[in-house]
Amino acid sequence: MESLKFDLAVTPLREVNQFLHKEAPARAGLSVQIDNPNGAHAIAAGLNADIQVHIEGHAGYYAAGMNQHASVTVHGSAGTGVAENMMSGKVHVKGFASNAAGATAQGGLLVIDGDAGLRCAISLKGADIVVGGSVGSFSAFMAQAGNLVVLGDAGEALGDSLYEARLFVRGKVKSLGSDCEEKPLGDTEFEILKDLLARSGHADIDPTSFKVYGSARTLYNFHVDNAGAY
């Protein structure tokens, strides 16, 4: 596998991102290491290539935002909006993720080893998010599709104005938002959760230790046969 290193203490972030956007797509399987990120914003945002990116430290706002195809690992914590509007691929935050992690994400997998802040998975549109710690208040607000798995606790108003996303929480939920209710862990939910736990490095955790939450479907006009159109 071809590998390259960039040092943000020497090379401007704009130059690194331009390389990732313009040259990296022609080098499938490329592995790029980014040293000394020091909380810079929009690192590895807007990628559209089958490459691996390792951010060796803490990232600022919108790291790996709009990701397509790439596998991005933050070997530290991430600021607001990590993997925002992700379309595909995988983003892995080894530390803590700040507010709005995975906001509006439409595909792919976001794994956060630590806690996530307020509004994790807000307006989720089809991606999968697995949080190894807890999530803050208003997480999964207006989440439309996809899955949020929380191994820790959830703050206030979980799933407020929820549409058809599934929420799996292993710990305590401080309160549920409007139109969010507990659901049974059926066979479909069990298999989805088991797969996501395995893919995020938590295969040893029993899926039956989670509670499932979904929409009570009282706040919008929806017919399940038309789910694919939403």
pLDDT (0 to 100) of residue 227: 59
Domains of the chain (ranges; CATH) run 3-218 (2.160.20.60)
In order, the DSSP letters of 20-89 are HHHTGGGSTT-EEEEE--TT-TTTTTT-BSS-EEEEES-B-TTTTTT-BS-EEEESS-B-TTTTTT--SS
**pTM (2 decimals)?**
0.94
Task: Kindly report, residue by residue over 93-120, the tens digit of the pLDDT.
Answer: 999 999 999 999 999 999 999 999 999 9
- Name the percent of the chain lying above pLDDT 70: 95
pLDDT in tens, 48-84: 999 999 999 999 999 999 999 999 999 999 999 999 9
Mean pLDDT for the chain overall: 95
Instruction: Out of 19-28, 29-38, 50-59, 145-154, pick the least confident.
Output: 19-28
